[in-house]
Amino acid sequence: MKVHISLAASAALLALAPVNATLAAPEKGAATEVPSQLPRNAAPLHYSITVTPNAEKLSFDGNVLIEFLLKTPSDSVTLNAADIDFRRVTIAKGRAAAMPATASVNAAAQTATIAFGKKLPAGRYTLNIDYSGKILQQANGLFALDYKDPQGAEKRALFTQFEAPDARRFVPSWDEPNYKATFDLTATVPAEQMAVSNMPVAARRDIGNGLAEVRFGTSPKMSTYLLFFGLGEFDRITKQVGPTEVGVVVGKGNGPKGQYALDASAKLVAYYNDYFDTPYPLPKLDNVAGPGQSQFFSAMENWGAIFTFERVLLNDPKITSARTRQGIFSTDAHEIAHQWFGNLVTMAWWDDLWLNEGFASWMESKATAHFNPDWQSELDRVNGREGAMGLDAYVTTHPVIQKISTVEQTSQAFDTITYQKGEAVITMLEAYAGETIWRDGLRAYMKKHAYANTRTDDLWNAVEAAGAKGLVKIAHDFTKQPGVPLLEVKSAKCVNGSTLLTLTQSEFSRDRKAETSAKPQRWNVPVIAQVIGQAPSKTVISNGSGSLQLAGCGAFIVNAGQSGYYRVLYQPDMMAALQKDFAKLPAIDQLGLLNDSQSLAFNEYQPVRTALNLVDAVPSDTSQRVTEDNVSTYGYLYGLYEKDPARQAKLAKLASNRFGPTLSKLGYKQSPSDSTLDANLRSSLISTLGYMGDPAVVAEAKRLFAELETNPAALDGPLRTTWLGVIAQNADQADWDKMRKLGQTAESFLVKSSMYRLLGSARDIALAKQALALALTKEPGPTLSAAIINGVSGDHPELAVDFALANREAVEALVDVSSKSEFIPGLGYGSSDPAMVGKLEAYAKAYLSPESRKPVDQAVAAIQTRIKSQPRIRTETSAWLDEKAAQ
Ligand SMILES: [Zn+2]
């Protein structure tokens, strides 16, 4: 699954409605104790599911035949079910007559116990269950997405979303990843609609009354969370890759907009076939587009039938930016990597979720960089690692491998630590092992565990066996304990043309600095360092200190190439040398050094001026990616002076002087000679300078917006959302009304969605209030309203939280069940108001179980740290700005 990691606050904050299920006691003497919330007396072998959805009534009828193995003599089995109405249950052995059985539901535990009426001997049985269920309007279980087709007609399409615990809303089942089985699915559907599942259609027949019965081929052995069903007025485009038919399924008429994703999928399947040395095992691989959005995720890797929201799948010349196209490629790369890593080989339990997600994130970057070297995707990794280190340095963090005991903890596990720290740790281990040994280890792992389940150590052992000596102990240190190592370069001595570094290891913290300095955790840290322009040297720092000899003398960088998961603190003279030679560093090290120095300065490990001097040293002709980072730092500083408009005006002027010439050179319009990175930089400069009120940028936005009156296509193209974003932020009532009108009259759902999302970003408080009120009406549609509220929380977290608390039930109905208790803390995450802490605490006390408090704890930690650190950052920044002005 691809979750919304990039949306700042949403990052670490997911939870499910409280469920009281707890971990079942492991069987005594079991060799490998895979956790389970179900009794262990039975396991499924095969499901034959038949469904008849009633899209209009938002319900469905189902029947399932479950062949299962009763392992010990028992009078009942317990499986998962949520919001399922059991009508008739029987149990049969072989050809013997079926016997009636009774189902009793435990709604809180999301289970149903099927009682047989007497004790049955161990053996193979078949359960036959008639039931009905609900079609939801947020992305959980079987759900509906409504949209208008290009002719303006109201349409409804159905999809499923089962990860982590929602297959049980579709079919009573052993809904845990370790219970793999095969699946047959048959559906009765409107004859004019297309039905899609994991496997190709095996048979289809008209059954009268405008209905057809569609039977799909039998799936391979897989976990329940990977099952998929979709139904609607679709078009499907395809491409053949060896024996695999690769497809993209889109709303009718959108075929051409799916071509970019189809081309990407075809390339990626071939690449992974080769990389894993195991061919993709299903006959087809579709990527199914759904209109609308979720606050939780953007795509899901159902085996053979990936689901992706339109905004990260359709390439529409009217609106799609270069950055969105990159997102289409990388999201596809992520989900296709899961077809092997996750689907073919699956974590045994959710405590190893990171194995799926950290790995897919890493593979996504690797494949994206392979096909698009000009995108500098390796720099995305540096920013992903930065996001992870930010969260990992609070006391509220958790290890990459974490204990998962309840259903809500499963959903909370889809966070930045799992995805981005997971990716960063794998990046470090690949660099340690070397690309070839690492790949050979993965190939062996894939072959050994195909169609089965694994624990993290299965992977480490495979890679170490392939030749990566010492990998397991490093891997354990970074996955079993939380936190961020801090390496301090104590000294650097130039002797006979080489440099001897001495390093000590402590721990980087944002809220326990004294404690972690006094008693840091220890890691085995693989270190790569080099004098600029010389060959790199490698070592592993153990037990808190070490030394390293580098070829050459002069400015040097530790964590050269940025594959390490740690921060580096230099002595002032070393920093001064790096600042002087900054332009000679590769872009990736420039970015890593900027991130480290800012984070260390803002968290009081070094003076703020050290970081700001480095920001100032970034040359204007560096990589566009580094310039983007640089302009965003100015945006961050500007935001710090919310209550000091005079200082903001000075900062804005400084930013305009510094970046205005770069923007002038790029021009306001997309040019045919643009690279992807040029296009991204232009968009970032317009957004950030527009946010800071740059007169030229705001005037151009207003000019283009006015032009819409006479030319409705004036804003069409890759910068449409960027320019409208500037208008939206600086909007007055007339602008806002006009934007809303553009949303109402948009000719495609994709464009409509983008317009409504922007309505929440007005800085004007009266307009922010209007946006909130609008979110509770039917006008935006059920999946866009939460995005509007989220938009308001950007500039007005207090307003958004007060509104959400006052309308709690209505607001929570606007988000996926699985992200419900994450949503409100997410709205308040960016606040620096002491009152927010009390509000969120009161919310947690009233509505969250102790197990699902984590989102609130994380938001509170971030807010409190901000309240404490911001005055100091402001004071030091002001002094630096004043000195700069006086020069
Ligand atoms: Zn994923």
Give CA–CA dist 887/7, Å, rounded. Answer: 39
Give CA–CA dist 846/84, Å, rounded. Answer: 28
Q: What is the pLDDT of residue 28?
A: 38
Say if residue 14's pLDDT is above 50: no
Say if residue 31's pLDDT is above 70: no
pLDDT digits (tens, 9 = 90+) for 227-275: 999 999 999 999 999 999 999 999 999 999 999 999 999 999 999 999 9
Under a CB-based contact definition with an 8 Å cutoff, are residues 347 and 177 in contact? yes
**DSSP strand pairing (484-495 vs 567-569):** parallel
Say if residue 13's pLDDT is above 50: no
User: What percent of the chain has a predicted confidence (pLDDT) above 70?
Assistant: 97
Distance 368 CA to ligand 1 centre (A): 15
Distance 404 CA to ligand 1 centre (A): 18
Say if residue 15's pLDDT is above 60: no
Distance 447 CA to ligand 1 centre (A): 21
Write out the two tokens for 563.
Answer: 């594959």
Say if residue 8's pLDDT is above 50: no
Calculate the CA dihedral of residues 78, 84, 88, 90 and round it to 10 degrees: -30
Distance 162 CA to ligand 1 centre (A): 13
Distance 426 CA to ligand 1 centre (A): 15
Q: What is the pLDDT of residue 887?
A: 80
Under a CB-based contact definition with an 8 Å cutoff, are residues 103 and 56 in contact? no
Give CA–CA dist 337/449, Å, rounded. Answer: 16
Give CA–CA dist 336/346, Å, rounded. Answer: 14
Distance 4 CA to ligand 1 centre (A): 11
Distance 482 CA to ligand 1 centre (A): 21
Write out the two tokens for 263.
Answer: 């081309």
Q: What is the pLDDT of residue 33?
A: 66
Indicate the average pLDDT of the chain.
93
Q: In b/e form, how buried is each residue of 439-466, taking b as 16+ CB within 10 angstroms?
A: bbbbbbbbeebeeebbbbebbbbbbbeb
Distance 471 CA to ligand 1 centre (A): 24
Q: What is the pLDDT of residue 18?
A: 26
Under a CB-based contact definition with an 8 Å cutoff, are residues 136 and 144 in contact? yes
> Catalytic residues, which ones?
335
Q: In b/e form, how buried is each residue of 274-297, taking b as 16+ CB within 10 angstroms?
A: ebbebebbbebbbbbbbbbbbbbb
Q: What is the pLDDT of residue 335?
A: 97
pLDDT digits (tens, 9 = 90+) for 651-701: 999 999 999 999 999 999 988 889 999 999 999 999 999 999 999 999 999
Reported as a pLDDT band with limits 50, 70 and 90, residue 29 is: very low
Locus of tokens 């960088």: 557
Instruction: Enter the pTM of the model.
Output: 0.93
Say if residue 617's pLDDT is above 80: yes
Q: What is the pLDDT of residue 3?
A: 78
| Burial (Cβ within 10 Å: 0-12, 13-18, ≥19) of residue 4 | buried
Which residues is 500 bridged to in the sheet? 493, 549
Q: What is the pLDDT of residue 292?
A: 83
Q: SS3 string of 739-779?
A: HHHHHHCCCCHHHHHHHHHHHHHCCCHHHHHHHHHHHCCCC
- Backbone phi, then psi, for 52, in 5-degree steps? -125, 100
Distance 105 CA to ligand 1 centre (A): 31
Coil, helix or strand at residue 4: coil
Say if residue 321's pLDDT is above 50: yes
| Between residues 145 and 783, the one the model is more confident about | 145
Distance 356 CA to ligand 1 centre (A): 7
pLDDT digits (tens, 9 = 90+) for 280-314: 999 999 999 999 888 788 999 999 999 999 999 99
Reported as a pLDDT band with limits 50, 70 and 90, residue 26 is: very low
Reported as a pLDDT band with limits 50, 70 and 90, residue 827 is: very high
DSSP 252-288: TT-GGGGHHHHHHHHHHHHHHHHHHTS---SSEEEEE
Reported as a pLDDT band with limits 50, 70 and 90, residue 95 is: confident
Reported as a pLDDT band with limits 50, 70 and 90, residue 24 is: very low
Average pLDDT over residues 705-712: 93
- Other beta carbons within 10 angstroms of residue 741's beta carbon come to 11
Say if residue 208's pLDDT is above 60: yes
Write out the two tokens for 333.
Answer: 């790369």
Say if residue 132's pLDDT is above 60: yes
Say if residue 784's pLDDT is above 80: yes
Say if residue 94's pLDDT is above 60: yes
Write out the two tokens for 794.
Answer: 């950007």
Distances (CA, A) of 226 to 223, 358, 759: 6, 18, 35
pLDDT digits (tens, 9 = 90+) for 368-417: 999 999 999 999 999 999 999 999 999 999 999 988 887 777 877 888 88
Q: What is the pLDDT of residue 414?
A: 84
Average pLDDT over residues 624-648: 95
Write out the two tokens for 62.
Answer: 């189902």
**DSSP strand pairing (141-148 vs 59-70):** unpaired
Distance 203 CA to ligand 1 centre (A): 31
Distance 300 CA to ligand 1 centre (A): 7
Q: What is the largest CA-CA distance in the chain?
A: 94
Q: In b/e form, how buried is each residue of 128-159, taking b as 16+ CB within 10 angstroms?
A: bbebbbbbbbbbbbbbbbbbbbeeeeebbbbb
Write out the two tokens for 460.
Answer: 């480490």
pLDDT digits (tens, 9 = 90+) for 644-658: 999 999 999 999 999
Average pLDDT over residues 567-590: 97
Coil, helix or strand at residue 66: strand
Average pLDDT over residues 142-171: 93
Say if residue 7's pLDDT is above 60: no
Average pLDDT over residues 600-609: 96
Task: Report the sign of the C-alpha dihedral through residues 313, 315, 316, 319, in that order.
Answer: positive
User: What percent of the chain has a predicted confidence (pLDDT) above 90?
Assistant: 85
Using alpha carbons, select from 783, 773, 790, 778 the residue that is nearest to residue 814.
Answer: 783
Distance 331 CA to ligand 1 centre (A): 9
Distance 721 CA to ligand 1 centre (A): 27
DSSP 296-334: SEEEE--TTEEEEEGGGT---TTT--HHHHHHHHHHHHH
Under a CB-based contact definition with an 8 Å cutoff, are residues 357 and 335 in contact? no
Reported as a pLDDT band with limits 50, 70 and 90, residue 54 is: very high
Using alpha carbons, select from 770, 773, 824, 759 the residue that is nearest to residue 798.
Answer: 824
Distance 710 CA to ligand 1 centre (A): 45
Under a CB-based contact definition with an 8 Å cutoff, are residues 190 and 210 in contact? yes
pLDDT digits (tens, 9 = 90+) for 473-496: 999 999 999 999 999 999 999 999
Using alpha carbons, select from 626, 629, 617, 620 the residue that is nearest to residue 663.
Answer: 620
- Other beta carbons within 10 angstroms of residue 553's beta carbon come to 16
Q: What is the pLDDT of residue 322?
A: 94
Under a CB-based contact definition with an 8 Å cutoff, are residues 827 and 9 in contact? yes
Coil, helix or strand at residue 395: coil
**DSSP strand pairing (42-54 vs 111-120):** unpaired
Q: What is the pLDDT of residue 4?
A: 65
Distance 72 CA to ligand 1 centre (A): 36
Give CA–CA dist 170/808, Å, rounded. Answer: 27
Distance 366 CA to ligand 1 centre (A): 15
Say if residue 734's pLDDT is above 80: yes
Say if residue 431's pLDDT is above 50: yes
Average pLDDT over residues 350-356: 90
Distance 133 CA to ligand 1 centre (A): 27
Say if residue 345's pLDDT is above 90: yes
Helices of type H across 343-470: 353-371, 378-392, 407-412, 416, 422-433, 435-449, 456-465
